Chains A and B, each alone.
Chain A
Amino acid sequence: MSLAPSIIRCNMANIHSFESLAALDGEGIRYAVFFTRCPLRCVYCHNPDTWHAGKIEMSAAELFDKIKRYKPYFKNGGGVTFSGGEPLLSSRFINETCRLLKTENIGYCIDTSGSVRLDDEVKTALLNADMVILDIKFHNEADYKKYTGGDFSLPAEIGKFCSDNGKRLMLRSVIIPGINDNESDIKGYADYVKNLGLRFEKYELLAFHTMGFFKYDELGIDNPLKDTPPLDKEKLNALQDLLNSRLNGEKYVSDRQTD
Chain B
Amino acid sequence: MNDNGNAWRDFNRGVWCDDINVSNFIKMNYTAYNGDHSFLEGPTERTKKEADRVKELLIAENKKGGVLDVDTSRVITILSHGPGYVVDKDTDIIVGLQTDEPLKRGVSPFAGIRNSVQACNAYGYEMSDKIKDEFKYRTTHNTGVFRAYTETMKKARHAGILTGLPDAYARGRIIGDYRRIALYGMDFLIEQKKLDKERLAEKEYLDEETIHLLEDLAKQIEFMYQLKELALLYGYDISKPAVNAFEAIQWLYFGYLGAVKEQNGAANSIGRIAEFIDIYIERDLREGKLSESEAQELIDDLVIKLRLVRHLRTPEYNDLFAGDPVWVTIALAGVTGEGKHMVSKTSYRVLNTLYNLGSSAEPNITVLWSERLPEPFKRFCAKVSIDTDSIQYENDDLMRRLYGDDYAIACCVSAMKMGKQMQFFGARCNLAKVLLMALNGGKDEIAGDQIAPEGMTFDEEILDFTQVYNEYKKYLKWMARLYVNTMNIIHYMHDKYAYERLMMSLHDTDVERLMAFGVSGFSVAVDSLSAIKYAKVKPIKDERGIITDFEIKGDFPKYGNDDDRADLIGKNLIEYFYRELCKTPAYRGAKHTLSILTITSNVMYGRKTGSTPDGRKAGEPFAPGANPMHGRDSQGALASLNSVAKLNYACCRDGISNTFSITPDALGSDEENRISNLVTMLDGYFVQDAHHLNVNVLNREKLIAAMADPTLYPSLTIRVSGYAVNFNKLTRDKQEEVVARTFHHSM
Contacts and interface: CB of A to CB of B under 8 A. Distances in A.
Interface of A: 17-23, 25-26, 28-29, 31-32, 66, 69-70, 72-76, 78
Given A25-B670, A70-B642, A76-B676, A20 B635 contact: yes
A19 B747 CA distance: 8
B66 to A, nearest CB: 37
Interface of B: 562, 635-640, 642, 662, 666-670, 673, 676-677, 680-681, 683-685, 687-688, 744, 746-747
Nearest to B633: A20
Contacts of A17: 635
Contacts of A20: 562, 635-640, 642
A19 B635 contact: yes
Interface centre among A20, A26, A66 (most CB of B within 10 A): A20
A29 B683 contact: no
A72 B687 contact: yes
Nearest to B690: A72
A84 to B, nearest CB: 12
25 contacts: A17-B635, A19-B635, A19-B636, A20-B562, A20-B638, A20-B640, A21-B636, A21-B666, A21-B681, A23-B667, A23-B669, A23-B673, A25-B669, A28-B677, A28-B680, A29-B681, A66-B562, A70-B642, A72-B683, A73-B684, A73-B685, A74-B684, A75-B680, A75-B684, A76-B676
A26 B673 contact: yes
A30 B414 CA distance: 33
Contacts of A23: 666-669, 673, 677, 746
B744 to A, nearest CB: 6
Given A31-B638, A69-B642, A22 B680 contact: no
Contacts of B666: 21, 23
Contacts of B673: 23, 25-26
A19 B681 CA distance: 14
A78 B680 contact: yes
Given A21-B744, A23-B746, A74-B684, 17 more contacts: A17-B635, A19-B635, A19-B636, A20-B637, A20-B640, A21-B681, A25-B669, A28-B677, A28-B680, A29-B684, A69-B562, A72-B684, A72-B685, A73-B685, A75-B683, A75-B684, A76-B676
Given A19-B747, A25-B673, A29-B677, A72 B639 contact: no
A174 to B, nearest CB: 14
Chain A binding site: helix, strand, loop or mixed by DSSP?
Answer: mixed
A73 B680 contact: yes
Interface centre among A25, A73, A78 (most CB of B within 10 A): A73
Given A22-B747, A69-B562, A29 B680 contact: yes
Nearest to A70: B638
Contacts of A25: 668-670, 673
A21 B639 CA distance: 8
A28 B747 CA distance: 16
Interface centre among B662, B673, B685 (most CB of A within 10 A): B673
Interface centre among A18, A19, A28, A69 (most CB of B within 10 A): A19
A111 to B, nearest CB: 11
Nearest to A75: B680
Contacts, number: 72
Chain B binding site: helix, strand, loop or mixed by DSSP?
Answer: helix
A72 B673 CA distance: 18
B638 A73 contact: yes
Nearest to B676: A76
Nearest to B645: A72
A17 B662 CA distance: 19
A76 B675 CA distance: 12
A124 B562 CA distance: 31
A19 B635 CA distance: 5
Given A26-B673, A69-B562, A69-B642, A21 B684 contact: no
Contacts of A26: 673
A256 B747 CA distance: 27
Contacts of A74: 684
A57 to B, nearest CB: 16
B693 to A, nearest CB: 13
A70 B642 CA distance: 8
B369 to A, nearest CB: 14
A72 B640 CA distance: 14
Given A20-B636, A31-B638, A70-B638, A76 B680 contact: yes
Nearest to A78: B680
Nearest to A55: B555
A85 to B, nearest CB: 13
Contacts of B746: 22-23
Contact of A22 (B636, B642, B684): B636
Contacts of B688: 72
A75 B681 CA distance: 9
Contacts of A75: 680, 683-684
What 3 A-B pairs come out closest when comparing CB atoms?
Answer: A73-B684, A20-B636, A20-B638
A21 B746 CA distance: 8
B655 to A, nearest CB: 21
B681 A73 contact: yes
Contacts of B638: 20-21, 29, 31, 70, 73
A176 to B, nearest CB: 18
A45 to B, nearest CB: 14
A246 B676 CA distance: 31
A56 to B, nearest CB: 11
A87 to B, nearest CB: 15
Contacts of A76: 676-677, 680
Nearest to A31: B638
Contacts of B670: 25
Contact of B636 (A18, A66, A72): A18
A69 B561 CA distance: 12
A21 to B, nearest CB: 4
Contacts of B642: 20, 69-70
B523 to A, nearest CB: 18
A78 B669 CA distance: 15
A28 B676 contact: yes
Contacts of A21: 636-638, 662, 666, 681, 744
Contacts of A70: 638, 642, 684
Contacts of B635: 17-20
A167 B291 CA distance: 53
Nearest to A71: B684
B480 to A, nearest CB: 32
